[in-house]
Chains A and B, each alone.
Chain A
């Protein structure tokens, strides 16, 4: 068994240097709600744990000219308690609110939820629907990656050795915009998604949908950006016919597995139902602002 070391650098440069030096032997500790379970279950044996919560940009939440930036290690409860961010992106907060218990959300972060790379991660579809970018730092410098390009398979990400997600940036919100995330689980709380559906849309002054993004979780090896579903809304008044087309496109995009939470057929059907309901709520929100 390798000896474990712990470091809590207070600057991004120091953290990136440590991660680069330690290579595959390093694990990043944000909220720890996944990593510490793996560590104490002897499923990973890192030589170095790099705690990134003492780095200011990892936990800050800020807005500049309507464009939000949230630190990748900011806890779920910190995000949920941030009234202005929650008002701007209610669908993102709906995803964050479903990550786990209050205790887990007191620690778990959006960056960790993304980098754990579960197909069913609840905060990821609303980030994808929002058009959020992952701001990444690594030995080669900084780069931005659309959130939908970060997860490449179950437990797999596009991050290179030594790279870490620092923060997420959100596009400035046009007027008449709304988003929503809905999840289907066997229980009402503390469960893993059978289907997660996120819709983000913008209307013009006449109520016609001018932009939309749709994302699904738990119905494929990675969370999906479903462009066909968004296309079903754009140019319409988001009427029943558009919502029917949206649901059909969402179901058609699914490539799910059978498991104890739901069958393939059930996931495909409910993906359409949940996407439609999420769109109805996003529409209602867009009409109010």
Chain B
């Protein structure tokens, strides 16, 4: 099969890319388009490092074929901050409250946490922990992750 021609929107910008039928979305995002903020960890949907939004749904981009994204809209970590100077409240609170150590899991956690707060602006600690159960942190800094999400949620509710 010749390479598939995929037209997609990423963070509001139109992209066209040629990809192999079996190529994963995370591979195309990172290696085809150079958007390396999205990380690939386990490649089997267990770690959540490759989390992106696909037509508004939180998914692991290692478990999506790039050809499936044709005509769809994708949001990655690169689109999270407002321009170059203004971080998203989640990003800022993760920095201020040390919600990350090595940082590999962070883009996926930020994408997942934003998806939670869009559905539920005032989640309990338990709700945050269950929602983020699909995002693994090998540094095991989970408590600071949770506190960072709680602080960002509070700030966003007051905004």
Which residues of chain B are within 8 angstroms of A51 by Cβ–Cβ distance? 65, 67-68
**B1 contacts A37, C-beta separation under 8 Å:** no
Distance in Å: Cβ of A21 to nearest Cβ of chain B: 15
Q: Does B17 contact A (CB under 8 A)?
A: no
Given contacts A4-B21, A5-B21, A6-B4, contact A107 B134 (CB under 8 A): no
Q: Does B45 contact A (CB under 8 A)?
A: yes
Q: Does A102 contact B (CB under 8 A)?
A: yes
**A104 contacts B60, C-beta separation under 8 Å:** yes
CA distance A53 to B54 in the complex (A): 14
> Contact partner of A77 among B57, B62, B63, CB < 8 A?
B57
Distance in Å: Cβ of B65 to nearest Cβ of chain A: 7
CA distance A117 to B45 in the complex (A): 19
CA distance A190 to B21 in the complex (A): 30
**Which B residue sits closest to A101, measured CB to CB?**
B134
Instruction: Say which size band chain B's interface belongs to.
Output: 20 to 34
Q: Does A3 contact B (CB under 8 A)?
A: yes
Which residues of chain B are within 8 angstroms of A53 by Cβ–Cβ distance? 68
> Contact partner of A102 among B4, B44, B58, B67, CB < 8 A?
B58
> Contact partner of A103 among B4, B21, B43, B134, CB < 8 A?
B134
**B59 contacts A106, C-beta separation under 8 Å:** yes
CA distance A49 to B21 in the complex (A): 9
CA distance A3 to B22 in the complex (A): 10
**A32 contacts B58, C-beta separation under 8 Å:** no
Which residues of chain A are within 8 angstroms of B130 by Cβ–Cβ distance? 189
Q: Does A39 contact B (CB under 8 A)?
A: yes
Q: Does A33 contact B (CB under 8 A)?
A: yes
**B57 contacts A6, C-beta separation under 8 Å:** no
Distance in Å: Cβ of A157 to nearest Cβ of chain B: 22
- 1/0 per residue, CB under 8 A from B, across A46-70: the answer is 0001010100000000000000000
**Which A residue sits closest to B134, measured CB to CB?**
A101
CA distance A51 to B70 in the complex (A): 12
CA distance A39 to B130 in the complex (A): 29
Which residues of chain B are within 8 angstroms of A75 by Cβ–Cβ distance? 57
Distance in Å: Cβ of A169 to nearest Cβ of chain B: 25
Q: Does A145 contact B (CB under 8 A)?
A: no
Given contacts A100-B45, A102-B131, A104-B45, contact A6 B59 (CB under 8 A): no
Which residues of chain A are within 8 angstroms of B58 by Cβ–Cβ distance? 102-103, 106
- 1/0 per residue, CB under 8 A from B, across A20-43: the answer is 000000000101110011011100
- Interface positions of A (Cβ within 8 A of B): 3-6, 8, 29, 31-33, 36-37, 39-41, 49, 51, 53, 75, 77, 100-104, 106-107, 189-190
A-B pairs, top 5 by smallest CB distance, nearest first, are A101-B134, A6-B21, A189-B133, A5-B1, A106-B57
